[in-house]
Chains A and B, each alone.
Chain A
Amino acid sequence: MTARPTGSSAFADKSAEAPAPSFSRRTLLAGAVGAISATLLNNASALPAQTKGPVPSPPALDDPGKLQGHIPTELGERSPFEHPRRRVNRAAPAGESESPLQELYGTITPADLHFERHHGGVPVIDPARYTLLIHGMVERPLKFTLADLKRFPTVSRVCFIECSGNGYRGFQTTTMKREATPSWIDGLLSTSEWTGVSLATLFREAGVKPDAKWFLAEGSDAAHMTRSIPVEKALDDAIIAYAQNGEAIRPEQGYPARLLLPGWEGNTQVKWIKRIELAKNPFMTREETSKYTDPLANGTARMFSFVMDAKSLITFPAYPDTVSRGWCVITGLAWSGRGKIARVEVTTDGGNAWESAELQPPVLSKCTTRFRHLWKYAGGEAVLMSRAIDETGYVQPTRAQLAAARGEGTFYHMNNIRGWKVERSGKVFFHVEG
């Protein structure tokens, strides 16, 4: 309980939140606000409670300008009118919750709404006892405390993390349904600014031997999550991250430190990382053989399929919205694990005509990009879809293209075009062509 910053989680017990800073009426009256009329002060419900416990939300006034608002607090809270929530998948034994993509703006995911996928629950780790061990094919096996890691030059990077299983509900016909929200389809996707130490710096420190080609990253959770990663990626852009959106990483995202591999499937970005072992060959762990391998139609399965291909999703309008006639701003997210989004194209007629959507700068490499497209809805039926094109020239494929390339029974990395069908009534339903 103490390891969790109080009141910071969307799921935190309300009663455990920090009490409102208490102040007496006397200090209030003696202060600059002494001019407030006594009748207003007697309106107890209009002031923060002086008792310990949750801060009752004052009623919204017709004219908020007629009453002093609450004083500064140590920890901010969302407006009492906003209730974004992750959608928790209780069917998954080992844990999964989806970011509410349809309720978010811009590209950054608030840390408490970042999607979760873990295989052994969220461990509680005392930062004072945390260590990261680097050993194997190195000149100098080393142990780093969290304080040690923070002494190195910091690097920050805004990038997306996506579970490679994300979006199977937009590919698999057995699970597809019309009543599907953006978060249900693709909510295992989030974007943060991550800060930490470049893994290349740590590798230099330990002196990685030239014939070490892979490293094992191991988490300290009950799943002992382990993945083999090519050393090349470490030298390219890998980070041992200890901060997310300006604060310490959330427990669900790997507190106190995780591996960050920009553009690669979420599972490889081992959270709660405690050990890195350098070796010549990959380790062939359960998560890179039995799971996170992609069966193909030719009787094989692809392994070490690290990079997330370009993908996009319209987040508005979407199920369960209803659009009314007139101007409608279609908006959504596009991203690619191979670099920058070059273009997003949107169709409003089921794919006959495609138009370039507007991209919101800055367009960052291996990061979500917000796009928007103005559409005048004239009533009737319409099929809205988007497709992403990245800087390598890769075009987000149709479902038929993806199934032809990999097989109908493939799994993981399902980035096919997905969209929304607007019915005559204006009601919007999930829709995939072909």
Chain B
Amino acid sequence: MRRPVLVGVLLSVLVAGAIIIDAWPRVRRSQTPERFGFGTPATTEDIRQANTDVTPDGRGLPHDSGTVAQGESLYGLRCSGCHGATGTEGPFDHLVGREPGDSFNFGRDPNFLAKRTIGNYWPYATTLYDYVHRAMPFDAPGSLSSNEVYSVVAYLLYRNQIVPGNAVMSDRTLPLVRMPAGDRFVVDNRSGGRTVR
């Protein structure tokens, strides 16, 4: 006897509820557009001016060249004060040095005796151009011409016994230079979980 009453009460509650909900203003979730259309198209000139990086395949290298001899005098004038007369005296980063047999013992040496240099640690010669032409000399970054950068890069590669004294560095030759530490780098294999890597 009581069942239908209960069902009736429940039904009317539901109907009332539905009416109230329906009376509520409908709220639509905002839709994210495919594109907002903000910002302005970058021109070829914008990109040319900003795109100063150089990659291992040589992309980004300007069409120019420089010699070890030119680089030696430039190094003495613009670099040696901070990197030492022969690139090993500091006070800042050591730029010159090879390990016996081109060993790569950095991970094993708790005393950090071997300084990491272009000759024993840098995997790509192109990175030298990329870094020096934008960030060096530290007291006047970006002030060297492309000929000056090729020259000082040639000189540093020569000091590190990577290229001969008559080498000419250019957009053609620099990407071909093989570095002693070129095959020493591995991808990160850490992935969380129980294993410590």
Which residues of chain A have a CB within 8 Å of any CB of chain B? 93-94, 119-120, 133-135, 140-145, 148, 151-153, 172-174, 201, 204-205, 216, 218, 222-224, 226, 274-275, 277, 279, 281, 283-286, 289-290, 293-307, 309, 338-339, 390, 392-395, 397, 401-402, 405-411
Contact = CB atoms under 8 A, between A and B. Distances in A.
Contact of A148 (B38, B53, B127): B38
A172 B118 CA distance: 24
Contacts of B52: 224
Nearest to B40: A143
Contacts of A408: 107-110
Contacts of B112: 172, 174, 409
A300 B122 contact: no
A325 B182 CA distance: 58
B42 A135 contact: yes
Contacts of A134: 42
B193 A393 contact: yes
B42 A141 contact: yes
B145 interface: no
B39 interface: yes
21 contacts: A93-B92, A141-B42, A224-B52, A284-B127, A285-B53, A289-B122, A294-B107, A298-B107, A299-B103, A299-B184, A300-B185, A301-B186, A338-B192, A394-B194, A405-B196, A407-B107, A409-B106, A409-B110, A409-B112, A410-B107, A411-B106
Contacts of A286: 127, 130-131, 135
Interface residues of B, number: 55
Interface string B112-124: 1000101001111
A290 B121 contact: yes
A307 B53 contact: no
A295 B106 contact: yes
A135 B90 CA distance: 38
A43 to B, nearest CB: 54
Given A173-B110, A390-B192, A303 B35 contact: no
A142 B39 contact: yes
Contacts of B188: 302-307
Given A406-B107, A409-B109, 4 more contacts: A299-B103, A307-B192, A408-B107, A408-B110
Contacts of A293: 185
B68 to A, nearest CB: 21
Contacts of B194: 393-395
A205 B186 contact: no
Given A173-B110, A409-B105, A141 B41 contact: yes
A397 B47 contact: no
Contacts of A275: 50-51
B134 interface: yes
B141 interface: yes
Contacts of A304: 187-188
The A interface, classified by DSSP as helix, strand, loop or mixed, is loop
Contact of A284 (B32, B42, B55, B186): B55
Contact of A283 (B53, B103, B138): B53
B24 interface: no
Contacts of A274: 50
Nearest to A299: B104
B126 interface: yes
Nearest to A144: B39
Nearest to A204: B35
Interface in B163-197: 184-190, 192-194, 196-197
Contacts of A226: 53, 130
A250 B184 CA distance: 38
A222 B50 contact: no
A216 B53 contact: yes
Contacts of B127: 284-286, 289-290
B38 to A, nearest CB: 5
Q: Which 5 A-B pairs have the closest CB atoms?
A: A392-B192, A407-B107, A295-B106, A295-B107, A408-B110
Given A133-B47, A143-B46, A338-B192, A174 B122 contact: no
A300 B186 contact: yes
Contacts of A303: 185-188
